[in-house]
Amino acid sequence: MENKAKLGSASLKLAKELKDLSRNANPSFSVGLADDDNLFEWVVTMFGPPDTYYEGGMFKALMKFPKNYPFEPPTLRFKSKMWHPNVYDDGKVCISILHSPNEDPMGYEDISERWSPAQSVETILMSVLVMLSSPNDESPANVDAAKMWREDKVAYKRRVQRCVEQSMED
């Protein structure tokens, strides 16, 4: 019975967030359900932030929510090709706000930077947009992108431009 209650409260929260985001559209991203019968899997389109290397891109992503949302964070995985120090090769986003709300075993992140039930889909997506603008190359998910970001901005920009161009074709 407890699982059904958790599932119910997660569904209610997700339905409310989806409704709010649909009603109050954000010009930086759009969201929708991947499947009309599943509130736990959303498609996201993020628009490359102005005045960044990602400007002009329309990056598709998939956001999956755990059954005990909002007590555990969702995952966010870009489906569009993405070159960024904080995005794994498979598209999975590595950002503090999406890390479980317990102590960081590596001691790198403060618990206040990690997931909390007070977060929302909007705060996550806004954090990812900030991440695109300001990569954290000290704790990279993609070491090659971090190295290029630090050592060869021209090559980094070229590589990102290819991702921007591909995102328009996806």
For the chain, what is the HEC assignment? CHHHHHHHHHHHHHHHHHHHHHHCCECCEEEEEEECCEEEEEEEEEECCCCCCCCCCEEEEEEECCCCCCCCCCEEEECCCCCCCCECCCCEECCHHHCCCCCCCCCCCCHHHCCCCCCCHHHHHHHHHHHHHCCCCCCCCCHHHHHHHHHCHHHHHHHHHHHHHHHHHC
Q: What is the model's pLDDT at position 28?
A: 96
pLDDT at 54 exceeding the cut of 90:
yes
The catalytically annotated residue of 14, 61, 94, 97 is: 94
Once rounded to an integer, what is the mean pLDDT over residues 19-38? 94
**pLDDT score of 116:** 83
The class of domain 2-169 in CATH terms is alpha beta
What pLDDT was estimated at residue 108? 58
163 is catalytic: no
Instruction: Provide mean pLDDT across the span 39-67.
Output: 97
Domains of the chain by residue range: 2-169
Average pLDDT over residues 45-68: 96
